[in-house]
Chain A
């Protein structure tokens, strides 16, 4: 049996559907364990992605990784899990390593593909500059899947949901305040990203970036100096010291393409670079390039996207 932990607190995220699809593609039956009080009808829709049963512990709020570890360990014992899957998001990064020690089960952290024929699993190493193939030496293995590595797939199927009391105990971490910008697409999950750098000259010019992002339905990002000078919030900073992302499309305007910036975005499927300098290093990593002034190109790009979207409807 393959067991998947998902966070269902804010509905079923794309990352959750990816992990269930991944578990199904591994071959065995799929059980899902989750905390919180999402509606049973919602959880039952996971059947379409390959889950046969969902265990739900409404008593665990999910703020303390040590509670979630107990929840997943109890579910693993109940279903006899041989592979346990997490998303390699902020929750997976906190919980999967703890579970690895508790179960003495090897962890593949940040898988980007299904296991190879020899049982090893591909991960990013050296900030995305290379891949490594990890072999697990224990009977039970844990895999955390990097978001956006596979697409959710509906194969049909029904699934039962069951209340589950994991006896996970109380949380040692008390939450004082939560700050979540409303409506924004979380950067690590975004499929389309529009990003800009120092070439934009000042925060007052970001309207052009936001307009293109809005036309595409994309999230916005920035280079590190832009966040450091305070033009944009820090959670938008991508790169080696910021967030690492791998969207389907990454559009970079006025960013030189320094190696530390590329480290956070070189897993993107398609990269578009807009830069006045034809020699900017970013063009070497780009699929499509426009040598031109972002102040002219971005508004035209937005108009072109709007024309395209209008023609689609």
Chain B
């Protein structure tokens, strides 16, 4: 089975979020990048488990610049066989998805996996866009993934519950918590990652459909109003009269 796993970088969750250039650009100063957690913990690890059980190949793909190579090597250290980097700035989800679809077209991947969302732009967009561009079925926010022959079985989140579904390969699946457990790369993996193939591919000529014009920070919270633990009637009255939420 040949699996393509879409990997994005994301700022470490403890990064300070700030903007520069008149609030038009994310301030990368001092920001540590990691592999987007959903891509690493769930999509990549589940792909490796399927390969270990059934054979095949796991390729990772990133749309990004040379500064993303460190994050790509980390995903290789966890166990992916090879990596593709489409050499372009990831301007919007449409641009990213169309680049990946363009690359994947005709290459015979049985499964294309993504994370549920990136933790920086949180759009949950790329997977559905790849599926439409390649005219493949799409199972979104899957928490379990199994493959038997060409039948893919998933558990997916639905409004207010869960659903078990089946679809025939090839398909696109976005992966969430429950699918696999995080793997810590070992020394051997880290050494091997240095020599695994990382192929840099020129981007296709495509335009983005959206742009971020500016950013802003939420208004600072005024300081907390402390309530006497013996006077809960006061809290209830404040929630009703002042906050107007009950």
With a CB–CB cut-off of 8 A, which chain B residues contact A69?
A: 132
22 contacts between A and B (CB under 8 A): A66-B137, A91-B159, A93-B140, A109-B124, A124-B122, A129-B17, A131-B215, A133-B213, A137-B209, A137-B210, A173-B137, A175-B163, A178-B158, A235-B157, A235-B161, A241-B37, A241-B177, A249-B243, A263-B13, A270-B245, A287-B222, A304-B232
Q: What is the 8 Å Cβ interface bit string for chain B, positions 210-246, against chain A (1 contact, 0 not)?
A: 1111111110011011111110110111111001011
Binary contact track A52-77/B, C-beta < 8 Å → 1, others 0: 00000000000111100100000000
| Interface residue A110 (Cβ < 8 Å from any Cβ of B) | yes
Which A67-125 residues have a C-beta within 8 angstroms of B?
69, 89-91, 93-102, 104-110, 118, 120, 123-125
Kindly provide the distance from the CB of A256 to the nearest chain B CB, expressed in whole angstroms.
14
A289–B232 CB distance below 8 A = no
Across-interface contacts of A188 in B (CB, < 8 A): 159
- Interface: A168 (CB within 8 A): no
Q: Give the interface segment out of A40-48, A156-164, A292-300.
A: A292-300
10 A-B pairs with least C-beta separation:
A97-B128, A292-B229, A180-B161, A106-B209, A304-B232, A101-B132, A98-B132, A94-B140, A109-B123, A186-B160
CB pair A284–B129 under 8 Å, yes or no, is no
Interface size bucket, A side? Answer: 35 or more
Inter-chain CA distance A132–B123, complex, in Å, is 12
0/1 per residue, B147-167, Cβ < 8 Å to A? 000000100011111111111
Q: Measured between C-beta atoms, what is the minimum distance from A310 to chain B in Å?
A: 12
Q: Are B125 and A283 in contact (CB under 8 A)?
A: no
Whether A179 pairs with B163 at a CB distance below 8 angstroms is yes
Are the CB atoms of B233 and A307 closer together than 8 Å? Answer: yes
Q: How far is the CA of A213 from the CA of B141 in the complex (A)?
A: 28
Residue of B138, B160, B232 contacting most chain A CB atoms (<10 Å): B160
Shortest beta-carbon distance from B178 to chain A in Å: 6
Once the chains bind, are B132 and A93 in contact (CB under 8 Å)? Answer: no
Q: Which residues of A contact B89 (CB under 8 A)?
A: none
A137 to B138, CA, bound (A): 26
Is the Cβ of A308 less than 8 Å from the Cβ of B209?
no
Query: B157 to A90, Cβ gap below 8 A?
Result: yes
CB of B105, distance to nearest CB on chain A (Å): 14
- Which of chain B's residues has its CB closest to A105's CB? B209
Closest to B137 in A: A172
Give chain B nearest CB distance to A219 CB in angstroms: 11
Q: A106 contacts which chain B residues (CB < 8 A)?
A: 92, 94, 209-210
**Complex-state Cα separation, A7 to B14, whole angstroms:** 37
Given that A101-B129, A131-B215, A135-B213 are known contacts, is A179 also in contact with B224, CB under 8 Å in the complex?
Answer: no
In the complex, A272 has a CB within 8 A of chain B: yes
Alpha-carbon distance A129/B163, docked complex (angstroms)? 32
Q: Is the CB of B245 within 8 A of A249?
A: yes
A141, B215: Cα distance in complex, Å: 20
0/1 string, B187-216, CB within 8 A of A gives 1: 000000000000000000001111111111
Contact between chains at A100 and B209 (CB < 8 Å): yes
**With A and B bound together, what is the CA distance between A97 and B232 in angstroms?**
46
Q: Is the CB of A184 within 8 A of B124?
A: no
Q: Are A303 and B224 in contact (CB under 8 A)?
A: no
Expressed in whole angstroms, the minimum distance between the Cβ of B135 and any Cβ of chain A is 8
**Is the Cβ of A134 less than 8 Å from the Cβ of B211?**
yes
* 8 Å CB interface, B170-184 against A: 177-178
| CB under 8 Å from chain B, chain A span 1-56 | 7, 13
List the A side residues contacting B93 at CB < 8 Å.
97, 107, 109
Q: What residues of chain B lie closer than 8 Å to A65, measured between beta carbons?
A: 128, 131, 138, 140
